[in-house]
């Protein structure tokens, strides 16, 4: 068992002695950005043009749903959100620290990425995980 | 290339048949489609069988073990919710190519109840409810909310789709449900994933549908042209790259691509279409597809549902079968069931839900992942 939390997804990086961040893979040919490692661009087909980029921790809410019915053991309601990060990369996650009511959720509301424990979820070996969440931007 | 015609087509009444096997359920529709044109399994040169739940289970062959092992080639097809339409299209293509002149397409599914999508993790920890939701009601809610952000589409407008389709199903004896659901009932039903309430989610049912497809020459030889349906277009598209692909399955661009190609292949436009059976897996989805299929301009879908243009008796009735919302959505069968529905109207045999004077109809399904299949059908002249 790891004594430090593991990353909930491969594109969440937890560097030694620095803040966690989200990593994208950007195509040097067409500029498309992807979450997760890849060698070939599915937008333009270019090979071996991928390089890693650190994704920004700020963006805007693009779309969402408020989930009331999920699988057993999943706490509801929660807001499933699609966020466009400031560099244009789209990413999905939970929008937290907002009352799950359409009245309180505005399209394009500024959000920031925050990193926290993965809701107490542990894997079969007992490892804890670090995940990312969205919350209304502090300046908003 | 020859033209291809549907000469026999039918579906079973959708329901829940836990005591039957998948091949048995498929066999029912196969026999009904054969009876519809007076042919036998021995007349079929190939079988294209669509099923999702037992995709590795040789469903087509097991179905022939129920109704006639002629030794014909069998292709088992799996393509998410476009499975049935893809099987139909493979059958169509084999006739168009001149490989065969009389083939059978079957779509069949046996479903459990409950949520689809968002399955547990094979490695690490489950992501459902941690990184948003992968459940189908949520995914299609997010797609609907994208329309809301662009055009101000309201919860009430999405809900009206369900009111309409449930109303239509009261006229369809083969639908799972024949129950009116007034607007307040739809909007006040259990919220599953805002803005989709329980009555705005398609019904998981068991079902099957089948079609016999012949070349024009064969259909004429058999004397089957009087009720034959011409397949004017058959198009399959996958999802072209879109900037939010990785986090937001895109049901729009592959439908638009398939629609453009289908209209071109058929030599018709949206204004020539008299009825449509489209993929209303969730009420939010139907709104998107009015625009994707070009029956209104972008941003006008809300008005279409408000003004009843897409209801039976309206300008272009959509999902007069009751749609997936009320007829039910047996994944692998859906694509052929909607071909059955449109064919039945083109034949003038749809009874109390008949779209009067229907000459050309369109069917649309979309499987998330994604696959879009569109067929344009016309009564043979």
Average pLDDT over residues A85-90: 96
> Is B142 near chain A, with CB under 8 Å?
yes
User: Minimal Cα–Cα distance from B131 to chain A, Å?
Assistant: 4
Give the pLDDT band of residue A139 (cuts 50, 70, 90).
low
Asked whether the beta carbons of residue B131 and residue A78 sit closer than 8 angstroms, the reply is: no
Whether residue B142 is contained in a domain is answered as: no
Confidence (pTM): 0.96
Q: B248 touching A, CB under 8 A?
A: yes
Q: Which residues from chain A sit within 8 angstroms of residue B193, using beta carbons?
A: 65-69, 80
Query: If pLDDT is split at 50, 70 and 90, which confidence band does B276 have?
Result: very high
Residue B335 to chain A, least CA–CA distance (Å): 27
B37 as an active site residue: the answer is: no
What pLDDT was estimated at residue B117? 74
Q: CB-CB: which of B120, B124, B149 is closest to A8?
A: B124
Q: Is the pLDDT of residue A140 over 60?
A: no
Name which of B123, B124, B247 is nearest A90 (Cβ-Cβ).
B247
Interchain pair B128, A63: CB under 8 A: no
Predicted confidence band at B245 (pLDDT cuts at 50, 70, 90)? confident
B106 exposure class (CB count in 10 Å sphere: 0-12, 13-18, 19+): buried
Chain B residues close to A123, C-beta within 8 Å: 123-125
Instruction: Indicate whether B18 belongs to any domain.
Output: yes
Chain B residues within 8 A of A43 when measuring between CB atoms = 241
Structural domain count of chain B = 1
Residue B214 lies in a domain: yes
| Interchain contact B122–A (C-beta under 8 A) | no
Q: Do B132 and A82 touch (CB under 8 A)?
A: yes
At B212 the pLDDT is: 98
ipTM of the complex: 0.95
Is B156 within 8 Å of chain A by CB?
A: no
Give Cα B364 to chain centroid, integer Å.
6
Contact B357, B201 (CB under 8 A): no
CB atoms within 10 A of CB B91: 32
Query: Is B302 part of a structural domain of the chain?
Result: yes
CATH number (domain holding residue B79):
3.40.47.10
Taking alpha carbons only, the member of B42, B16, B18, B19 closest to residue B30 is: B42
* Among A17-21, B85-89, B117-121, B202-206, the least confident range: B117-121
Query: What ranges in B38-82 are assigned the alpha helix state H?
Result: 59-67
Please give the pLDDT value at position B121: 61
Cβ-based contacts of B112 with chain A (< 8 Å): none
Check B194 against A68: CB less than 8 A apart: yes
Residue B17 has pLDDT above 70, yes or no: yes
Query: Which of chain B's residues have a Cβ under 8 Å away from the Cβ of A61?
Result: none
List of residues 6+ apart from A33 with CB closer than 8 A: A24, A25, A26, A27, A53, A55, A87, A88, A89
CB nearest to B128's CB, from A70, A108, A123? A70
The verdict on residue B273 lying in a domain is: yes
Which residues of chain A lie closer than 8 angstroms to B120, CB-CB?
A: 71
Q: Say which of B37, B49, B81, B254 is annotated catalytic.
A: B81
Position B122 scores a pLDDT of: 66
Q: Is B194 within 8 Å of chain A by CB?
A: yes
**Cα gap B356→B354, rounded to integer Å:** 6
Residue-wise pLDDT for B104-151, tens only, equals 999 999 997 777 776 666 678 999 999 999 999 999 999 999 999 999
Cβ distance A90 to B248 less than 8 Å, yes or no, reads: yes
> Closest Cα to residue B153, out of B278, B277, B310, B288?
B288
Please pick, among B166, B167, B279, B329, the residue that the annotation labels catalytic: B329
Measured between beta carbons, the chain A residues lying within 8 angstroms of B138 are 65, 67, 80
Residue B4 has phi, psi (to 5 degrees) of -110, 140
Total beta-carbon pairs less than 8 A apart between chain A and chain B: 135
CB contact under 8 A, A66 and B194: yes
Cα B357 to Cα B345: distance, rounded to the nearest angstrom: 9
pLDDT for the residue A19? 97
pLDDT, average across residues A20-29 = 97
Residue B208 resides in a domain:
yes
pLDDT digits (tens, 9 = 90+) for B298-339: 999 999 999 999 999 999 999 999 999 999 999 999 999 999
Residues of chain A with a CB closer than 8 angstroms to some CB in chain B: 6, 8-9, 32, 34-36, 42-43, 62-71, 74-76, 78, 80-82, 84, 88, 90-94, 102, 107-108, 118-119, 121-123, 129, 131-132
Residue B118 lies in a domain: no
List the end-to-end C-alpha distance of chain A, in Å, as a whole number.
40
Could you report the per-residue pLDDT of B286-301, keeping only the tens digit for each? 999 999 999 999 999 9
B32-80: per-residue pLDDT in tens?
999 999 999 999 999 999 999 999 999 999 999 999 999 999 999 999 9
Q: Does B143 contact chain A (CB < 8 Å)? A: yes
CB contact under 8 A, A69 and B135: yes
Measured between CA atoms, how close is A49 to chain B, in angstroms? 17
Q: Is B81 a catalytic residue?
A: yes
For the segment B151-175, the average pLDDT, to the nearest whole number, is 98
Per DSSP bridges, beta strands A21-27 and A50-54 are: antiparallel
| pLDDT per position as a tens digit, B192-233 | 999 999 999 999 999 999 999 999 999 999 999 999 999 999
Identify whether B13 is part of a domain: yes
pLDDT of residue B249: 87
What residue numbers bound the domain in which B99 lies?
Answer: 4-113+203-379
End-to-end CA distance of chain B: 18
pLDDT for B120: 60
Instruction: Please give the average per-residue pLDDT across B221-250, as a whole number.
Output: 94
**B2: pLDDT confidence band, cut at 50, 70 and 90?**
confident
């Amino acid at each position: 068992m790891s004594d430090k939390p593991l990353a909930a997804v491969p594109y969440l990086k937890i560097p030694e002695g620095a803040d966690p961040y989200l990593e994208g893979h950007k195509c040097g040919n067409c500029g498309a950005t992807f979450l997760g490692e890849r060698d070939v661009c599915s937008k333009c087909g270019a090979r071996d043009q991928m390089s890693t980029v650190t994704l920004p921790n700020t963006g805007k809410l693009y779309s969402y749903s408020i989930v009331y019915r999920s699988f057993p053991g999943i706490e509801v309601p929660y807001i499933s959100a699609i966020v466009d990060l400031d560099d244009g990369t789209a990413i999905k996650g939970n929008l937290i620290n907002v009352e799950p009511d359409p009245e309180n959720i505005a399209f394009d509301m500024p959000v920031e990425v925050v990193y926290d424990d993965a809701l107490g979820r542990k894997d079969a070996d007992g490892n804890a995980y670090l995940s990312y969440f969205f919350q209304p931007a502090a300046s908003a | 290339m020859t033209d291809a015609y549907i000469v026999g087509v039918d579906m079973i009444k959708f329901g829940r048949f836990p005591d039957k096997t998948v091949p048995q359920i498929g066999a029912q529709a196969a026999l009904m489609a054969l009876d519809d044109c007076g042919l036998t399994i021995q007349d079929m040169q190939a079988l294209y069988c669509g099923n999702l739940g037992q995709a590795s289970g040789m469903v087509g062959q097991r179905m022939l073990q129920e109704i006639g092992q002629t030794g014909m080639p069998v292709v088992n097809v799996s393509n998410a919710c476009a499975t049935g339409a893809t099987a139909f299209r493979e059958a169509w293509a084999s006739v168009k190519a001149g490989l065969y002149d009389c083939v059978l397409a079957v779509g069949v599914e046996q479903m459990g109840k409950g949520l689809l999508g968002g399955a547990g993790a094979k490695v690490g920890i489950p992501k459902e409810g941690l990184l948003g939701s992968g459940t189908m009601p949520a995914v299609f809610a997010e797609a609907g909310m994208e329309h809301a952000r662009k055009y101000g589409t309201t919860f009430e407008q999405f809900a009206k789709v369900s009111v309409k389709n449930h109303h239509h199903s009261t006229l369809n004896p083969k639908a799972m449900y024949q129950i009116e659901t007034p607007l307040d009932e739809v909007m006040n039903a259990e919220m599953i994933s805002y803005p989709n309430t329980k009555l705005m989610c398609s019904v998981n049912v068991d079902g099957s549908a089948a079609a016999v497809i012949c070349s024009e020459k064969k259909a004429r030889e058999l004397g089957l042209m009087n009720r034959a349906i011409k397949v004017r277009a058959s198009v399959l598209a996958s999802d072209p790259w879109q900037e939010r692909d990785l986090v937001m399955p895109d049901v729009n661009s592959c439908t638009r691509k398939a629609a453009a190609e289908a209209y071109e292949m058929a030599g018709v436009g949206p204004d020539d279409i008299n009825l449509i059976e489209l993929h209303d897996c969730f009420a939010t989805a139907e709104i998107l597809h009015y625009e994707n299929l070009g029956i209104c301009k972008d941003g006008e879908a809300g008005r279409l549902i408000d003004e009843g243009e897409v209801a039976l008796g309206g300008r272009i009735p959509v999902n007069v079968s009751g749609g997936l919302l009320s007829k039910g959505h047996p994944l692998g069968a859906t694509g052929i069931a909607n071909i059955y529905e449109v064919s039945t109207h083109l034949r003038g045999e749809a009874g109390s839900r008949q779209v009067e004077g229907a000459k050309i109809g369109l069917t649309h399904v979309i499987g998330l992942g994604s696959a879009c299949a569109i067929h344009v059908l016309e009564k043979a002249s």
